[in-house]
Amino acid sequence: MNTMYERLLRSTEDLLYRVRIYDRNLTRSEEITQLDEAYGLMSTALLRSQGSDDHSMEFFASRLQQVRLRLITMMEDLLHPA
């Protein structure tokens, strides 16, 4: 698999781990669980396709980037509450 996709998978997994840690009051646990399940499904699909179809790889990568953006927003909210 392309190193770009591997890096995207690893960094998304790391963000999920960090968001879980910083959600000490479990205020976002349901959303984190949903994102974790979505990440699991996407990473499995991405690993199965392994570059067989460029269009599907790009699709999974764009979805993972959306998950990452949501996780980053959640992390910012958890670290800097209003």
Read off the pLDDT of each residue in 7-18 and give the average, rounded to a whole number. 94
Mean pLDDT of all residues in 1-12: 85
Q: Which pLDDT belongs to residue 1?
A: 57
Cα 32–18–36 angle (5° rounding)?
30
Q: How far apart are CA 10 and CA 47, in angstroms?
A: 12
Q: Other CB atoms closer than 10 Å to residue 45's CB: what's the count?
A: 14
Cα separation, 59 vs 41, in Å, equals 13
DSSP string, 36-82: HHHHHHHHHHHHHHTTS-HHHHHHHHHHHHHHHHHHHHHHHHHHS--
- 20-69 pLDDT, tens digit each: 999 998 999 999 999 999 999 988 887 787 766 778 888 888 999 999 99
On whether the pTM is more than 0.95, the answer is no
